Amino acid sequence: MKETIMATARPMVQARGYNSLSFRELATAVGIKSASIHYYFPTKDDLGAALARRYTDDFLLYLNELLDTKQGWKTCIASYADVFRNTLLRENRMCLGGILAAERPELALEVRSEVERYTTMIVEWLTKVVALGHPKIEAEAAQRWAFGIFAAIEGAQLVARGCDDVTVFDKTLEAYRSAGLLPALPA
């Protein structure tokens, strides 16, 4: 039941934000009483932290599989960006890490901590990928570039969502490629 609750809550948060998540509405969607949600997640913040932690872990598992299968750095970056694009295609949803970050001032410490972990872990992965494509790059430069990629793609998704138009995401990423922030698409 805990997994079902999390699987139901995640798209709700991605579509409408964390602050709009209601245990009553979640319970109805799952088909249980809201008191039963509290059995698994005593507070909304417990659920929020668990959602963010799982999202980060699942996303990193996918991303690390890209590296493990010896994908080139350009393919890794393109596949990373595709996750954000595909999320938009699912009812104009947002990356869970991004939507939680937008609500950061209102988040409890345990949720905020997981959002910060998400950012740190994804930027670390992107730093590895940048270094893979540029073996002679200095570590600090690779990290700055990785953070730029992270912020650019999260931002492109946010703007595209606000326009309710995935082509805005595509055009923005193409502009990033032209400017050199993102590598050209792999052949």
Following DSSP, what letter does each residue of 101-152 receive, concatenated?
HHTGGGS-HHHHHHHHHHHHHHHHHHHHHHHHH-TTS-HHHHHHHHHHHHHH
Please indicate, yes or no, if residue 74 is contained in any of the structural domains.
yes
Please indicate, yes or no, if residue 12 is contained in any of the structural domains.
no
- pLDDT score of 186: 78
Q: What is the dihedral of CA 155, 164, 22, 45, to 10 degrees?
A: -10
Please indicate, yes or no, if residue 117 is contained in any of the structural domains.
yes
Both tokens of 31, joined, read 């088909």
CATH of the domain at 121: 1.10.357.10
Judge whether residue 36 has pLDDT over 80.
yes
User: What's the total number of domains in the chain?
Assistant: 1
Instruction: Give per-residue pLDDT as tens, 173-185.
Output: 999 999 999 999 8
Please indicate, yes or no, if residue 33 is contained in any of the structural domains.
no
pTM of the shown model = 0.93
Domain range spanning residue 152?
44-179
Please indicate, yes or no, if residue 62 is contained in any of the structural domains.
yes
Please indicate, yes or no, if residue 160 is contained in any of the structural domains.
yes
